[in-house]
Amino acid sequence: MLGSIAIQAFNKSENVVGTLDSIARSSGSDKYHLVILQDGCSGSAETEKYRSDWAQTTQALEEWVSRNGDHFVSARFERSEENNGPYRSAERLVNRALETSESVIFSEDDVIFERDAIEWFERALNHPMFLRPNVWAIAGESKFFDSYRYLPPKADVCRALEVAQTRDLINRFVFLDFLPSSCFATTRDKWAEFGGTRGTTNGDVAVIERCRAEARLCFWPVIARCRDTGMHHPLGYSVRCKGLHHEVFKNTYVLSGMLKGASGELSEIPDKDALFNEFTVFWKQLAS
C-alpha cells in the first residue's frame, strides 16, 4: 500500500506553498498520496484577525493543487468549517491519511524539505531499528548543526561540512527520547499508540512526556532533511503563544543538500553526545 504525505495548514499562504513546492521537488514524492487539511477559522480565539489570511490561504491551496495535483498518485485538499486548533487538526489529518496508507509523513505548513527528504523517510521507515516496538516516529529535522539565533561564521560552516562529509554523517542517525512537533513520519500501528495523545491540548508536549515516562524513542537524522522556517512568522502558532520576540530559534546550517555523494546504508552513531558537544553546545551557550 502506498504512503501518504499529510500537510497541516491554517493561515500562512506563502509558507504552505513553499512547503508544498519543496515536497514536489523532493525525489520520490510522485509515489505518494497528498492530503492537505486546512483548519477552520470560525470559532478560533481571534477569528476576525485571521479571516482574511485564512481565505487567502484557501485560495492559494486550491490553486496549488489544481496546478500540481497530477504530480502525486492522488491529491486531496480538505477544509474544516470550524476551528479545531493545531493539535486536534493534526490528529484528524494523520488519521485521514492513514485510512488509505500504512505510513504517513506529516508536516506543518512552514517546513522546507530537502531533495532527498522523502528518500530519508523511506529508508528510515524500512530500517530494522525503526521496527522496534519502542520507536514511535522518524524526524526530518536534526538536533545537530544548529546555531540557534546566531549566524555561524563561514569558516565554521566549512569545517562542519568537511566533518560531515568525511565522517559520512549523511547516513547516520541517533535515537532521542522526544518527537518533533513540526514534521515526522510514522506507521499506522505506531500512530495508534500515540496519536490520541498528540491530538490533545499541548499534545506535542504530552507525547514527549509519554516518551520519557515509557522509554519511547524517535529516529533522528544527524544531517537535517527538513528545516522549520516558521518559528517567528507573525501569524504562526509560536508567535501567538510566545510573542513576536520569543527566544526559540532554529538555525540549521548543515543540510543534506549541501553534501555530496550517494546515500549508503543508514547506521546509528555510537557517540551522539560527542558530536552534539562539538557542533551544538557552543551556540547554545551563546544563546543562554
CATH number of 4-287: 3.90.550.10
Domain ranges of the chain: 4-287
Give the angle 50-11-142 at the CA atoms, nearest 5°. Answer: 135
How many Cβ atoms sit within 10 Å of the Cβ of residue 163?
A: 15
Question: Does the structure show a pLDDT above 90 at 276?
Answer: no
| pTM recorded for the entire structure | 0.90
Reference 129, options 75, 173, 97; nearest CA is: 173
> What is the sign of the dihedral through the CA atoms of 141, 147, 151 and 157?
negative
Question: Would the pLDDT of 250 be above 90?
Answer: no
- The pLDDT of residue 106 is 98
Give the pLDDT of residue 1.
Answer: 63
Query: Quick one: average pLDDT of 56-74?
Result: 97
Is the pLDDT score of 51 beyond 70? yes
pLDDT band at 254 (very low <50, low <70, confident <90, very high): very high
Question: Tell me: the pLDDT tens digits for 178-191?
Answer: 999 999 999 999 99
Bigger pLDDT: 232 vs 122: 122
Q: Residue 233 — pLDDT band, cuts 50, 70, 90?
A: very low
Q: How many Å apart are CA 90 and CA 67, to the nearest integer?
A: 25
Residue 66 CA to residue 58 CA, distance in Å, equals 12
